[in-house]
Chain A
Amino acid sequence: MALSGFFLLVFLLQHCTINFLSVISPASFNNVSHFMGTNPLVQFALQPVLAFGVIFHLAMGIRLELLNRSSRPIKYAMEKASENANWMSRNMIITGIMIFLFFGLHFYDFWFPELNTKFIMGDMSGLNPEGGFRYFEELQHKFIDPIRVGLYVISFIFLSLHLMHGFQSAFQSVGFRHNKYTPIIKKLGTLYAIAIPAGFVFIALFHFINH
């Protein structure tokens, strides 16, 4: 759980950074997108690792939840769970599944059309009919519909809640805990859990407003 969690944390940072290019420089966003979309190392080494990481995290998360539920077959009639643990830590499966549902929309928006263009239609050029790179333009078109932008924003709230607990939890799971460093990790975790989802939201809203 923790290892796949760490991996996803690194991936997300990378993803957010590249997306941010679309705000500051559409041209470099196009270049990097084309590189990521056509480089064999990225496509055939990193992408399968990422897919495995996501599926592993999802499958292990669901398995963990089911086993843990079965460890208490009879529930308490009265339970004050919020007295001793925060909401985020108690509902990782809910925030996790919301992220998973978002993947459905996200893949429908980006990954499936990308696969279709590249491998079914066989167009690896990354160009639009006018001869420029198509990536930035495609990105902009996705964020015209306010409902879709709304769904993206809501999803990132769930991601933020997931990371509020997940970031520091992953360190504890691998036994990294120290009087000096753990308070820093917790602060860093909160920062990550706010900044990364907020970054994605900012990018989506930026294109919604500026398309």
Chain B
Amino acid sequence: MTKNGMNLTLKVWRQKSDKDKGQIETYQVNDISEHMSFLEMMDTMNEQLISAGKEPVAFDHDCREGICGSCSLFINGEAHGPDRGVTTCQLHMRKFKDGDTIYIEPWRSKAFPVIKDLVVDRTGFDRIMSAGGFISVNTSGNTQDANSIPIAKDDADHAFDAATCIGCGACVATCKNASAMLFVSAKVSQLALLPQGKIEAKDRVLNMVEQMDAEGFGSCTNTGACEVECPKGISLDNIARMNREFMGASITSDK
């Protein structure tokens, strides 16, 4: 067979369970097409492992089109690999070249413990959402149509931009402090900017930040790494907005 793809050396984190210590293992994959997505390359690697009678590498994925946020992976020292504005499923193998060595590691954060291999537990994000990432509406059948409330175009646009966060956790993975500020601030902003969200704004920001700290995420020191690595281009504007909301609420709220 003529060789028409890349041969790569993969250094992959293997860990049997959350109790296991885990270690990096080295695998060789051959004939990888530059048109493959990174996850297809991972599939090829797993097929090879299965044929060799070895356990395949566990990794998260679902939509494979950049909208669900489940694919993670810290690839060659960067969240979602070397490309910008993409998730791992949207990363193409043409970003690599024949003979490359690629490190593949799970998100590293005290708040995201490894479940197995490259799969981490991101339910900390869900608990932050449960703490305040919602609005309370009576849905008994006479709910007002949202379009009947006038909203400034700028506010609507900024709220929409914030709402494009897919909860992937790349911001945490990439931050030197493992801080979740970009995620939490996007979730605070998408509601705080809209009239429906203003009603519970104070409690929301206080409760979500409290939960964020309780989960063990670090504190923001404004390095800006999250904004660079975020696949959805969530802006640091959101962090500033949350800082304002938080300070205002801390001073004026009853709690």
Taking Cβ atoms with an 8 Å cutoff, the residues of A that contact B are 64, 67-68, 70-81, 83-86, 89-90, 92, 165, 168-169, 172-177
Residue among B24, B219, B221 facing the most chain A CB atoms (10 A cut-off): B221
Task: Please give, as numbers and ranges, the residues of chain B lying within 8 Å of A83 by CB-CB distance.
Answer: 77-78, 82, 228
Known: A76-B108, A172-B243. A85 touches B237 (CB 8 A): no
CA distance A177 to B242 in the complex (A): 11
Does chain A have a CB within 8 A of B218?
yes
A76 touches B74 (CB 8 A): yes
Q: Identify which of A75, A78, A92, A175 contacts B247 (C-beta below 8 A).
A: A175
CA distance A175 to B224 in the complex (A): 14
For B11, the closest partner residue in chain A by CB is: A77
Q: Interface on chain B toward A: helix, strand, loop, or mixed SS?
A: mixed
Task: Report the minimal beta-carbon distance from B132 to chain A, rounded to whole angstroms.
Answer: 18
Q: A64-B221, A81-B225 are in contact. List 16 more A-B contacts (CB 8 A).
A: A68-B178, A71-B178, A71-B179, A71-B216, A75-B108, A76-B74, A77-B105, A80-B76, A80-B77, A81-B176, A83-B77, A84-B223, A168-B222, A169-B221, A173-B243, A175-B243
A84 touches B109 (CB 8 A): no
For A72, the closest partner residue in chain B by CB is: B178
A90 touches B236 (CB 8 A): no
B240 touches A92 (CB 8 A): no
Interface size on B, residues (CB 8 A): 42
Task: Please give, as numbers and ranges, the residues of chain A lying within 8 Å of B24 by CB-CB distance.
Answer: 77
Known: A77-B105, A78-B76. A173 touches B222 (CB 8 A): yes
For B222, the closest partner residue in chain A by CB is: A169
CA distance A92 to B219 in the complex (A): 14
For A80, the closest partner residue in chain B by CB is: B77
A-B contact pairs, 23 of them (CB 8 A): A64-B221, A68-B177, A68-B179, A70-B110, A74-B108, A75-B108, A76-B77, A76-B105, A77-B103, A78-B74, A79-B77, A80-B78, A81-B77, A83-B82, A84-B174, A85-B228, A86-B223, A169-B222, A172-B236, A175-B243, A177-B236, A177-B237, A177-B240
Does chain A have a CB within 8 A of B117?
no
Does chain A have a CB within 8 A of B217?
yes
B77 touches A68 (CB 8 A): no
For A78, the closest partner residue in chain B by CB is: B103
Bits for B43-71, please: 1 = Cβ < 8 Å to A, else 0. 00000000000000000000000000000
Task: Report the minimal beta-carbon distance from A87 to chain B, rounded to whole angstroms.
Answer: 10
A85 touches B103 (CB 8 A): no
Known: A71-B109, A173-B243, A175-B241. A84 touches B225 (CB 8 A): yes
CA distance A174 to B242 in the complex (A): 10
Known: A85-B176, A173-B243, A176-B240. A68 touches B218 (CB 8 A): yes
B218 touches A84 (CB 8 A): no
Task: Please give, as numbers and ranges, the residues of chain A lying within 8 Å of B192 by CB-CB distance.
Answer: none
Does chain A have a CB within 8 A of B193?
no
CA distance A71 to B174 in the complex (A): 12
Residue among A68, A89, A176 facing the most chain B CB atoms (10 A cut-off): A68
Does chain A have a CB within 8 A of B128?
no
Task: Please give, as numbers and ranges, the residues of chain B lying within 8 Å of A81 by CB-CB distance.
Answer: 77, 176, 225
Known: A72-B109, A76-B74, A80-B77. A175 touches B222 (CB 8 A): no
